[in-house]
């Protein structure tokens, strides 16, 4: 976990990957089944995108698969014959009945042309080099293999972000880095193309969950292993006054008639294929047989 990425300058290393793994381990050992709803929901939605594809896959990789729900869904849908699951921490793999390996998305240990399908559910947003991680996933695909990914988008946790900023600014006069920078949907397609994947498709979902109290949301994020892993984060506990004021603002600004507060999660879905001669290709420039000017009013 302490390996560096040689081609990235220090200022582009945003996340402490050792801490990301520790958060994942803690989530597995605390009460993962109680907190995994969002992960499972996104994993199922991602897998169901295969219903529109008349294709099955012999060997699939469930990359960062937590307790394996994405791979299980592939098997149940008869979309994969075998699944290898990875995670950052061994604790998440304790229940594995099939092949499983501890692996880091930034340093994949697989040979090129290994898999027919690679799926990643809510893990890639913690990588320091997202284009590099996608490129490694793409290289591990066989020709005409499919990459499917789901990651948090920039609109995720917008309510919590706004309240934290306002509370901390009000109390301390400044703002600390607290929530991970997320990907924007407009960048997702170009990321797939940069990784060498063909026929890229992206779309987005907004999932809004309701909680009894802002602290219940924060507890859920901890249970998901999704708490702050920024290198630039404060290294001491946040002042109690800031957290209490954040909760007050959250309730004042967002609570519904029943006093429950919403938490918005934007999910970006991505798919792309490893190039293959059988795939459709765009028509070459200059090969059109009709002139657009012939169809325009003079």
pLDDT band at 278 (very low <50, low <70, confident <90, very high): confident
| pLDDT per residue as tens digits for the range 98-153 | 899 999 999 999 999 999 999 999 999 999 999 999 999 999 999 999 999 999 99
Domain ranges of the chain: 10-156+180-212+263-275
Query: Whole-prediction pTM value?
Result: 0.88
Helix (H), strand (E), coil (C) string for the chain: CCCCCCCCCHHHCCECHHHHHHHHHHHHHCCHHHHCHHHHHHHHHHHHHHHHCCCCEEEEEEECCCCCHHHHHHHHCCCEEEEEEEECCHHHHCCCCCCEEECECCECCCCCCCEEEEEEECCHHHCCCHHHHHHHHHHCEEEEEEEEEEEEECCCCHHHHHHHHHHHHHHHCCCCCCCCCCECHHHHHHHHHHCCCEEEEEEEEEEEEEECCHHHHHHHHHHHCCCCCECCCCCCCCCHHHHHHHHHHHHHHHCCCCCCEEEEEEEEEEEEECCCCCCCCCCCCCCCCCCHHHHCCC
Considering the domain 10-156+180-212+263-275 in this protein, what is its CATH number? 3.40.50.150
């Amino acid at each position: 976990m302490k390996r560096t990425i040689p081609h990235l300058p220090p200022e582009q290393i945003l996340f402490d990957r050792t801490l990301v793994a520790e958060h994942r381990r803690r989530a597995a050992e605390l009460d993962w089944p109680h907190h995994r709803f969002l992960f499972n929901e996104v994993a199922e939605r991602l897998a169901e995108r295969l219903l529109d594809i008349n294709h099955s896959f012999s060997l699939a990789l469930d990359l960062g698969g937590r307790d394996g729900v994405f791979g299980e869904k592939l098997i149940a849908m008869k979309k994969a014959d075998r699944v290898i699951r990875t995670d950052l921490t061994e604790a998440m793999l304790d229940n594995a009945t099939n092949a499983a390996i501890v692996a880091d998305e930034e340093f994949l240990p697989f040979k090129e042309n290994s898999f027919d399908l690679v799926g990643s559910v809510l893990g890639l947003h913690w990588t320091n080099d997202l284009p590099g991680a996608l490129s490694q996933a793409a290289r591990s695909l066989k020709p005409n293999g499919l990459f499917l990914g789901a990651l948090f988008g920039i609109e995720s946790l917008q309510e919590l972000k706004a309240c934290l900023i306002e509370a901390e600014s009000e109390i301390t006069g400044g703002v600390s880095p607290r929530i991970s920078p997320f990907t924007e949907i407009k960048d997702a397609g170009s990321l797939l193309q940069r990784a060498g994947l063909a026929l890229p498709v992206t779309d987005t979902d907004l999932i809004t969950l309701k909680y009894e109290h802002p602290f219940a949301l924060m507890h859920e994020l901890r249970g998901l292993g999704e708490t702050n892993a920024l290198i630039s984060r404060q290294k001491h506990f946040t002042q109690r006054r800031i957290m209490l004021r954040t909760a007050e603002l959250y309730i004042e600004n967002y609570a519904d008639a029943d006093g429950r507060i919403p938490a918005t999660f934007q999910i970006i879905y991505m798919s792309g294929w490893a190039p293959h001669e059988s795939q459709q290709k765009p028509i070459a420039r200059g090969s059109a047989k009709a002139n657009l000017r012939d169809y325009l009013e003079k």
